[in-house]
Amino acid sequence: MADARLQPVLDPHALARELSGKLLIGGRLVPARSGRTFDVVNPAKGDVIGQAAFGEAADVEAAVTAAAEAQKAWARVPARQRGKLVAECGRVLQDHVEELARLITLETGKALRTESRIEAGVLSDSFVYYGGLAPELKGETVPLLPTTLNFTFREPIGVVGAIIPWNVPLLLMALKIAPALVAGNAVVVKSAEEAPFTVLRVCQILSQILPPGLFNMLSGYGPECGAPLVAHPKVGKVTFTGSVETGKIVYKTAAEKLIPVTLELGGKSPMIVMGDAELDKAVDGAVVGMRFTRQGQSCTAASRIFVHDSVHDAFVAKLKAKVDAMVMGDPMDEKTDIGAIVSCAQFTRVQDYIRLGRETSGATAHVCSRLPDDPSLAKGLFVQPVIFTGLTNDSRLAREEIFGPVTCVIRFTDYEDVIAQANDTEYGLAATIWTRDLKIAMDAIHRLEAGLVQVNQNMVVQPNISYGGIKASGLGKEASLEAMLEHFTHKKSAIINMA
């Protein structure tokens, strides 16, 4: 059996060519019904690496039909058995970590060593983790009369539509499809325009283990492919990660159908550095928190760093030195820390924000690291990280999600004032505070308006830690047991009268 399985392909160009023009529907790689495709570009070099299939409503119809059919049998497979198969997916994906890391590097421009390998590893871990949670799909009994039994249990929803973005597609896909499958659902995944091939490869690998049609993968644009998926009458749940703007469109369509949604949207996460903080640790935390290794393309990016007046200048100097020492270059190169921005649209957007910051009176742009001088990268979408000082919390750079390597360091003197400023945002995804004072830390944990508050660390999402925002950052939680139970099942109540 194992011999018949797909072997890892370490040449990502070959893999991109092989996967070109294909969707995965009913367990098979097929072209879009229309035969249309669109180019996928390597942002580090500007070359076209392949053509993704242009999925549209007819493909959505085929994928959802296949999913609905497969789901009926899957729901009858005992939960433990489903879990075993999903965990097996995780183990097989482990053999493909290097392959997937190279392919995601090629299509998104993220650095292989600092980003892609880690993400591919978490993909595999998430399947193993959720597979093991299958026995937790259990209900409750409610005390009634001695002759009456009221109990609850968990039923799958049916077909789940999962729409993912390009910044961490493997991790985000895993957090959606692994719990959905374990809970007994079938899934149709819609990948982001910028990053279709790695997601398709994962689905191809999974289709060796799981029944055909149980999950299906569509590539295509939002309005032509994502929108009909959300609107499809047989899709009973949508889980989406992306922009606030698109999240609202998804939510409106779901409201028409009265189906549940999970929305993981943007952020403008505050990081507060108190005067007593261990400064070097806080600086390291800012580098991780800002995801400079991911060109800042993270919804949790610590893009508003409030630093106490007494340590502000030292913090900025240390942060600048750290980011200066990071190597920007060919994402495939093991020496590279920082890769390229994913697309021309994002590149322009980030440059526009940097220009706006520079034009703001009182602001200083501390430009870090160096653009690569390798001529093969001349057309690459590289942006030097910028640390802005002298901006206030009401500037557009401190209010809007930039999704690039740009952060604002804002000086403060008063704790009450900094809590108010940190909360003065439409977002509420994540926050951190850096202090040695436990009383302050505990107070801030309670008062910061965010789905996740961390003290003296800036850890990246893990499959077992509940994750999701409040305010405009979204609805519902991903990761953890709670996400599987609350977001991918219905709770049914049953009452038996034995009198």
Give the footprint of ligand NAI on residues 279-318 (CB under 6 A). Answer: 299
In the β-sheet with 159-163, what is the strand arrangement from edge to edge? 28-30, 23-25, 215-218, 186-190, 159-163, 235-241, 261-264, 474-475
Give the footprint of ligand NAI on residues 135-164 (CB under 6 A). Answer: 163-164
Paired tokens of 356: 């706006």
Give the footprint of ligand NAI on residues 316-375 (CB under 6 A). Answer: 346, 349
Residue pair 21/34 in contact by the 8 Å Cβ criterion: no
Residue pair 191/169 in contact by the 8 Å Cβ criterion: yes
Smaller CB distance to ligand NAI: residue 343 or 435?
343
In the β-sheet with 148-156, what is the strand arrangement from edge to edge? 141-142, 148-156, 489-497
Candidate list 197, 382, 403, 415; residue touching ligand NAI; CB under 6 A: 403
* 376 DSSP 8-state letter: G
Distance in angstroms (rounded) separating the CA atoms of residues 473 and 396:
17
Candidate list 47, 58, 73, 223; residue touching ligand NAI; CB under 6 A: 223
- By CB under 6 A, tell whether 193 contacts ligand NAI: yes
- From the list 115, 119, 194, 264, the catalytic residue is 264
Q: Enumerate residues 6+ apart whose C-beta is below 8 A from 38.
A: 51, 52, 54, 193, 221
Q: How far is the CB of 2 from ligand NAI (least distance, A)?
A: 33
Binding mask 163-182 for ligand NAI (x = CB under 6 A): xxxxx---------------
- By CB under 6 A, tell whether 216 contacts ligand NAI: no
Paired tokens of 124: 């595999």
Candidate list 68, 265, 430, 461; residue touching ligand NAI; CB under 6 A: 265
Diameter over CA atoms, the chain: 83
- By CB under 6 A, tell whether 222 contacts ligand NAI: yes
Q: Count CB neighbours of 162 within 10 A.
A: 27
Sole window of 2-10, 87-95, 188-196, 406-414 interacting with ligand NAI (rule: CB under 6 A): 188-196
Q: How far is the CB of 166 from ligand NAI (least distance, A)?
A: 6
Q: Enumerate residues 6+ apart whose C-beta is below 8 A from 277.
A: 308, 311, 434, 435, 436, 456
- By CB under 6 A, tell whether 392 contacts ligand NAI: no
Site size toward ligand NAI (CB under 6 A) is 28
- By CB under 6 A, tell whether 243 contacts ligand NAI: yes
Clarify whether 299 is annotated catalytic: yes
**Residue 170: closest CA among 202, 145, 209, 143:** 202
Candidate list 25, 227, 305, 418; residue touching ligand NAI; CB under 6 A: 227
Chain contacts with ligand NAI (rule: CB under 6 A): 163-167, 190, 192-193, 221-223, 226-227, 230, 241-243, 246, 249-250, 264-266, 299, 346, 349, 401, 403
Q: Which residues are catalytic?
A: 176, 264, 299, 478
